[in-house]
């Protein structure tokens, strides 16, 4: 059974850091290394929004709201994608989800659409106190 499992969320003070991890398992992720991976977040009263993505060649893309503070990376041998979050502020409070792009070998720059992703994790809560 295919799974994406996030971890690393928690409660942190404003200005602090957290590192999220997302581990992929299951037969479909034998193609992990040729899929882009993304992070999204869902805050109360808001729609799910794009945070960051990393292409299969490790090109990276960020939402303007996190650029310069968050870093996405991947380890294909571990089938894991990471999100290092620094300088956190209360507006970053949300449930963070990782997702696997359905498009193998995709080399474009459009990672914002939810429909581009066919597997989602269960989410991990990040709460930033002021």
Q: What is the pLDDT of residues 78-107, one digit of tens each?
A: 999 999 999 999 999 999 999 999 998 988
Tell me if 85 sits within 8 A of 12, measured CB to CB.
no
Distance CA 37, CA 43 (A): 20
**pLDDT given at position 121:** 97
Give the count of beta carbons closer than 10 Å to the beta carbon of residue 7: 12
Residues of the chain falling short of pLDDT 70? none
**pLDDT given at position 109:** 84
**pLDDT given at position 119:** 95
Mean pLDDT value across the chain? 96
Residue (of 90, 99, 77) closest to 20 by Cα position: 99
């Amino acid at each position: 059974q295919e799974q994406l499992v996030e971890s690393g969320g928690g409660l942190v003070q404003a200005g602090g850091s957290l590192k999220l991890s997302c581990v992929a398992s299951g037969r479909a992720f034998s193609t992990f290394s040729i899929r882009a991976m993304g992070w999204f977040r869902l805050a109360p009263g808001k729609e799910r929004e794009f945070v960051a993505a990393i292409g299969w060649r490790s090109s990276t893309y960020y939402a303007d709201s996190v650029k310069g503070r968050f870093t996405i990376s991947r380890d294909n041998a571990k089938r894991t994608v990471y999100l290092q979050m620094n300088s956190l502020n209360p507006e970053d409070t949300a449930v963070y989800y990782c997702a696997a792009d359905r498009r193998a070998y995709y080399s474009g720059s459009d990672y914002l659409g939810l429909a581009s992703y066919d597997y989602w994790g269960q989410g991990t809560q990040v709460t930033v106190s002021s």
